[in-house]
A = this chain, B = another copy of it.
Amino acid sequence: MSANTIGKIFRLTTFGESHGKAIGGVIDGCPAGLLIDLDFVQQQLNRRRPGQSEINTPRSEADEVEFLSGIFEGAATGAPIAFIIRNNDARSQDYDHLKDIYRPSHAGFTWDKKYGFYDWRGGGRASARETIARVVGGAIAQLVLLKSNINIQAYTSQIGKIILEKNYTALNLDERYNNAIHCPDDETAGKMMTLLEEIKIAGDSTGGVIDCVIRNLPAGLGEPVFDKLQADLAKAIMSINAAKGFEYGEGFAAASMLGSEHNDLFTASDEWTLTPATNHAGGILGGISTGSDIYFRVAFKPVATIMKSQLTADKYGNPVMLEGKGRHDVCVVPRAVPVVEAMTALVIADHLLRNRTSKL
Contact string against B for A residues 119-161, beta-carbon threshold 8 Å, 1 for contact and 0 otherwise = 1000011100010000000000000100100000000001011
- Contact among B13, B20, B68, B315 for A22, CB-based, below 8 A: B68
Question: With A and B bound together, what is the CA distance between A132 and B199 in angstroms?
Answer: 49
Stretch at the interface among A1-9, A45-53, A179-187: A1-9
**Which 8 A/B pairs are nearest by Cβ-Cβ distance?**
A107-B286, A245-B247, A3-B223, A2-B28, A268-B317, A205-B259, A3-B227, A2-B29
Asked if A32 contacts B306 (CB within 8 A), the reply is no
Complex Cα spacing A248 to B238, Å: 10
**Which of B82, B286, B360 is close to A106, meaning CB atoms less than 8 Å apart?**
B286
Contact digits for A226-242, partner B, Cβ 8 Å, 1 yes 0 no: 11101111111111010
Pick from B228, B254, B263, B310: contact of A238, CB below 8 A.
Answer: B228
- Of A54-62, A70-78, A166-174, the one contacting chain B is A70-78
Pairs A–B under 8 Å by Cβ, sample size 30:
A2-B10, A4-B79, A4-B224, A15-B80, A16-B69, A20-B69, A21-B67, A32-B116, A34-B360, A72-B117, A78-B115, A104-B276, A105-B262, A107-B224, A109-B266, A109-B274, A126-B224, A204-B259, A205-B260, A206-B259, A207-B262, A228-B238, A244-B247, A244-B251, A252-B297, A255-B299, A257-B302, A259-B302, A260-B310, A265-B310
- Please tell me if A24 contacts chain B, counting CB pairs below 8 Å: yes
Q: Which of A79, A251, A288 has the largest number of chain B CB atoms within 10 A?
A: A79
C-alpha gap A358/B2 in the complex (Å): 9
B contact residues around A311 at 8 Å (CB)? 265
Cβ contact of A117, chosen from B10, B13, B28, B33, cutoff 8 A: B33
Question: How many whole Å from A191's CB to the nearest CB in chain B?
Answer: 14
The interface residues of chain B lying within 8 Å CB-to-CB of A267 are 312-313
**A260: chain B residues within 8 A (beta carbon):** 204-205, 306, 308, 310
Determine whether the beta carbon of A286 is less than 8 Å from that of B110. Answer: yes
A280 to B124: give the CA distance in the assembly, Å. 23
Q: Contact: B31 with A254, CB < 8 Å?
A: no
- A110: which of B24, B285, B310 is its contact (CB, 8 Å)? B285
Interface range on chain A (Cβ under 8 Å from partner): 35 or more
Distance in angstroms between the alpha carbons of A281 and B106 in the assembled complex: 10
- Is A177 interfacial (CB 8 A cutoff)? no
Q: Contacts of A5 on B, CB cut-off 8 Å?
A: 5, 11, 13, 28, 226
Given contacts A4-B80, A125-B225, A286-B126, contact A358 B16 (CB under 8 A): no
A354 at interface, CB cutoff 8 A:
yes
A327 to chain B, nearest CB (A): 15
Cβ-closest chain B residue relative to A262:
B302
Q: Is A201 an interface residue (CB 8 A)?
A: no
Q: Closest chain B residue to A66 by CB distance?
A: B21
Contact A113 B219, beta carbon cutoff 8 Å: yes
Is A43 engaged at the interface, CB distance under 8 Å to the other chain? no
Q: How far is the CB of A107 from chain B (nearest CB, A)?
A: 2
8 Å CB contact of A357 from B282, B316, B357:
B357
CB-based contact B1/A354 at 8 Å: yes
